[in-house]
Amino acid sequence: MPITCTSGCGKNAALKRPKTGDALCKECFFTAFELEIHHTIITNKLFESGQKVAIAASGGKDSTVLAHILRLLNQRYNYGLELVLLSIDEGITGYRDDSLETVKKNRDDYQMPLKILSYEELYGWTMDRIVAQIGRTNNCTFCGVFRRQALDRGAKLLKVDSIATGHNADDIAETVLMNILRGDTARLRRCTDIKTGSNDDSSNENSIPRVKPLKYAYEKEIVMYAHYKKLIYFSTECVFAPNAYRGHARTFLKDLEKIRPSVIMDIIYSGEQLRFKDTVKKPIRGTCERCGFVSSQQPCKACKLLEGLNRGLPKLGIGKKSKGDRMIAQQDKELKLRERANLVKNDF
């Protein structure tokens, strides 16, 4: 027997919301989902009229729904935003090259300008070449670090006021779990922030705010919205992702969700309420002396990883700084010995 939409519209329900358990028709689900995103944007003052906002576009479900909804809400509620798409090409054959075709389709459908930057043009490396050097153990570290800085570089080129990312509630809950398991208090204290960075950060002109309009949106509901709206998105998983540490946190979270459906919001709320002792060391955001972009260490992680690749020491930026310093010292010592040997050889 058909179930009536619980909103009272009189239509038959087409789905059950994973987040609330409400049985809704498609139209009422669209309205509820869009209103929640609008409420998140307004309540947290994510944007100001007249701002230029870059949407981090990968072609996946999250960024596609984000682009669609920001365009819709911008027109419906007169946000007064200039929206552009910013994509990063990591150089992963059979994955990113295909997903960028979806991004280009989004560009045409939503009539937004698109800027694509590649690891190769920014760093001189592709992820395919990096994985060939480092293997499949720490490859996600390189990709994550380079991607974050690449977005900053792209945002600076486009002269935008903020970057909107497609991080959803599941992503944030997973990140909270990962940081707890790793004991990473620095990231744990800020991973639930809906807005990071600030235009008022006078210490760093390259500090461009990042906002998460989908912070409280469940991944399942994003998929349902994209499905019923018939949005075009790329759904293939990265070929290098199966070994990622995040995958274990995701599996754990899904198992918990079966037992307690509200666990995603519970974890986010817990992360938001965490407080640390004053004795806990806080990283200080500054500017990398090499590249000039935001960093809490010298040199920044991106520059350190890139140095390792260029030196033929791909694991240089992995692990403790002291270990990396020893690797550099050993390599420099070997180079001096070779130079000395060549000089002796030339004397004869």
Residue 24, Cα to own-chain centre: how many angstroms?
A: 31
The verdict on whether residue 109 carries a ligand-binding annotation is no
- Shared domain for 249 and 327, answered yes or no, is no
**pLDDT, average across residues 183-196:** 88
- Strand 195-196 relative to strand 162-164: parallel, antiparallel, unpaired? unpaired
- Among 43-47, 318-322, 333-337, name the most confident range: 43-47
* Range scoring the smallest mean pLDDT among 5-9, 194-198, 224-228: 194-198
The verdict on whether residue 166 carries a ligand-binding annotation is yes
- Shared domain for 309 and 195, answered yes or no, is no
- Express as a percent the part of the chain with pLDDT over 90: 68
- Shared domain for 224 and 316, answered yes or no, is no
Domain boundary among 228, 251, 282: 282
- Shared domain for 121 and 89, answered yes or no, is yes
Residue 322 banded pLDDT, cuts 50, 70, 90: low
- Shared domain for 141 and 205, answered yes or no, is yes
Inter-axis angle of helices 245-259 and 263-273, nearest 10: 120
Q: Is 117 helix (H, G, I), strand (E, B) or coil?
A: strand
The verdict on whether residue 155 carries a ligand-binding annotation is no
DSSP letter for 242, please: G
- Shared domain for 236 and 306, answered yes or no, is no
Q: Is the pLDDT of residue 43 over 60?
A: yes
Quote the number of domains for the chain. 2
292: which residues sit within 8 A by CB, 6+ positions away?
206
Query: Is residue 2 a contact partner of residue 13, using CB atoms and an 8 Å limit?
Result: yes
What's the domain range around 184? Answer: 49-282
* Residue at 5 is within a domain: no
Per the prediction, the chain carries an average pLDDT of 90
Q: Can you tell me the distance from the alpha carbon of 348 to that of 330, in angstroms, rounded to the nearest whole number?
A: 28
Domain boundary among 226, 250, 282: 282
* Range scoring the smallest mean pLDDT among 2-6, 243-247, 254-258, 312-316: 243-247
The verdict on whether residue 232 carries a ligand-binding annotation is no
Residue 321 banded pLDDT, cuts 50, 70, 90: low
The verdict on whether residue 56 carries a ligand-binding annotation is yes
Q: What is the pTM of this model?
A: 0.89
**pLDDT, average across residues 118-146:** 92
**pLDDT, average across residues 164-181:** 96
Q: Where are the beta strands (DSSP E) in 140-274?
A: 162-164, 195-196, 210-211
Residue 205 banded pLDDT, cuts 50, 70, 90: low
Per-residue pLDDT, 294: 86
Query: Is residue 162 a contact partner of residue 53, using CB atoms and an 8 Å limit?
Result: yes
